[in-house]
Amino acid sequence: MKRTKIIDLSAMRKIKPSYLVKPITLAVAAAMLSACGGGNSQEVTFVKSVDDCVSNTDFTLAQCEVAYEKALEEAEKTGPKYKSMASCESEFGPQQCLTDRSGSFFMPFMAGFIVNQLLFDRSRNYYGGSYNPVYRYNRPYSRYHDTLMLSDGTSIGKYGKNKFKVSKSATSPKPKITKTVSRGGFGSVASAKSSWGGGKSSSSKGWGG
Amino acid sequence: MLRQDIKQRKEWQKKAAEFGFKFHTMHGETYWDESAFYQFSLNQIENDLEQPTEEIHQMCLEVVNQVVHDEEWLTKFKLPPNQWEFIRDSWLNGDPSLYSRLDFAYDGKNPAKLYENNADTPTSIYETGFWQWLWLQDNVDGGKLNRGADQFNSLQEKLVNRFFDLQVLTPNRTLHFACCKDTEEDRGTVQYLEDCANAAGVNCKFVYVEDIGVDKNGNFTDLDNQVITWMFKLYPWEFMMAEEYGQFLGTNNIRWIEPPWKAVLSNKALMPALWKMFPDHPNLLPSFFEDELNKAANFSSLVKKPLFSREGANISIINGGKEKTESDGPYGDEGFIYQATHFLPKFSDNYTLIGSWLVDDTAAGISIREDKSPVTQDMSRFLPHIILG
């Protein structure tokens, strides 16, 4: 066969007929993509250490070491930060905080990190997500006491299990935000050529070829 | 290779609306034309189109390798000197490509002749990869076409797989898709590629070319001030390089689709360069730079094409030294190339052009454009095809 074998038409529809239920994310049923299902939640494994990672996931030792380092880096960047050791310890417990690399803030020790094993392609040794650090909240009498949470404060469940359901965004890398100083530095040639009154008479034709 | 009439599918326009195919008719003129189709034999597809497509692609890569290392060639290609390093680096890095389309004149009997390579911003991919696929499916299901009918079109499958590979090569980055404002066709094309990338699990965002911003470090930004680190742009490299933000190209950490080295291939100087490096190749037309016209003395008729042009604009034909304009357009400032005249074959009253697609370096299918005029332009009709026998 010289053509695409299967196209999932429901995923290609831009206007969904009312008889169709939720679209499926996949447009092409390629076998290797079968790991990515629909829905917005995913199961992740919580690992406390490199050893824990090796024994409880499909990751190799090398991959677990990378994962641990990346999670630490992420914690440094996005983890909860406090102005005093006391305020940090009041939430995460005594001896549970350290100063960040700049030395000006206090942050809790990372209790571990989460990985979604389905995002790991063993044959290519490639992980398609981010390693999000996890913290163990410890304020006595708080309803979140002994809860595992992400940097942004999202609770993922009580400490003690190692599988949790979290939203898909929890393992997607965080985008970098900056301050834009100007806009509109691209597009001038196209607009100059389209004001020319010849072939490109339409507004619906573009700049491809 | 035959052209056959066929009944149009009942209410296909309604279906087009459902699938978001908005540009099937433009200015009251038919663009998607399913009143007929072309039929090929498997032998024609595999030996006359698929194989030459992959071979020519490899030849094109050899041209890139030659051009980026040689200032004389870079000058001949009229590539801006301040972007030479940017182009060369992307080639030396091995920046991966997504797709391209080679345009051929092919009549079903003689070797297909390469007209040009749309390597940077090829369009009509939605019509090819999805819409004509659906047309075949519907007609086979409806008993209008033979059950054994196939199509040379694995484009969508290959695109999804390629996006998966590109993500492996470009981990943990959001892919920004960009095209110009106010063009339904480009927006539709980009949306389709975005759908394919999504299917491969790539994290996608969209920004219009005109809305791209820059921060104080020269990073490009989208409207949410998010730093752009990986971008698909349906906007020609030669425009970007000449524009205000062209100065930041190569200074910021962005992976590009198509990569900057594609600027060498989307340039018509490719044609005389190929002819020089691979003279008398059966799939090439004799082609010359302006300063080589003495070599073209044997040819009674030449087609003059601008170095940079899109959609068949600014083409003229020179017969016995007399120039006749075939199509107008805004291009030509950078100079011209000359190609031995080789008209498109005619089927019924139509001149027929074959677009042959590549995903990375693998041939992935064809699209067919028809026109009453010998120069295929942006309004030329798109016709589906089948393989039978």
**Which secondary-structure segment (H or E) carries B369?**
strand B362-371
For B154, the closest of A2, A128, A205 (CB atoms) is: A2
CB-based contact (8 Å) between A73 and chain B? Answer: no
Looking at the DSSP bridge assignments, the partners of residue B231 are B176, B256
- For the cut 70, the answer to whether the pLDDT of residue A198 exceeds it is no
For residues B171 and B159, which has the higher predicted lDDT (pLDDT)?
B159
Residue-level pLDDT at A53: 92
Q: Is the pLDDT of residue A201 over 80?
A: no
Instruction: Report CB contact under 8 Å: A206, B183.
Output: yes
Contact residues, chain A, for B373 at CB < 8 Å: none
- Higher pLDDT: B270 or A40? It is B270
What is the structure's pLDDT at B15? 96
- pLDDT higher than 90, residue A18: no
- pLDDT of residue B259 exceeding 90: yes
3-state secondary structure of B131: helix
Minimum CA–CA partner of B241 in chain A:
A186
Overall size of chain B counted in residues: 389
**pLDDT at residue B171 is higher than 60:** yes
Residue A121 touches partner B, C-beta closer than 8 Å: yes
Q: Is the ipTM of this complex over 0.85?
A: yes
Residue contact B133–A178, C-beta within 8 A? no
Name the helix (H) or strand (E) containing A158.
strand A155-158
Mean pLDDT over the full length of chain A? 79
Among partner residues B226, B234, B244, which is closest to A207 by beta-carbon distance? B234
Q: Tens digits of per-residue pLDDT, B20-68?
A: 999 999 888 999 999 999 999 999 999 999 999 999 999 999 999 999 9
A-chain residues near B221 (CB < 8 A): 178, 180
Mean predicted confidence (pLDDT) in B105-131: 96
Under DSSP, the state recorded for B4 is E
pLDDT score, position B315 = 86
Q: What is the mean predicted confidence (pLDDT) over A103-108? A: 88
Q: One-letter amino acid identity for B228? A: I
Chain B partners of A34 at a C-beta cutoff of 8 Å? Answer: none
- For A195, counting Cβ atoms within 10 Å of its Cβ (0-12 exposed, 13-18 middle, 19+ buried), the class is exposed
Q: What is the per-residue pLDDT for B172? A: 77
Does residue B359 register a pLDDT over 50? yes
Three-state DSSP class for residue A33: helix
Asked if B238 contacts B308 with a C-beta cutoff of 8 angstroms, the reply is yes
A5 touches chain B (CB under 8 A): yes
Q: Please state, rounded to an integer, the average pLDDT across all residues of chain B.
A: 94
Taking one residue from A and the other from B, the number of pairs with CB-CB distance under 8 angstroms is 232
Put simply, whether the predicted model's pTM sits higher than 0.90 gets the answer no
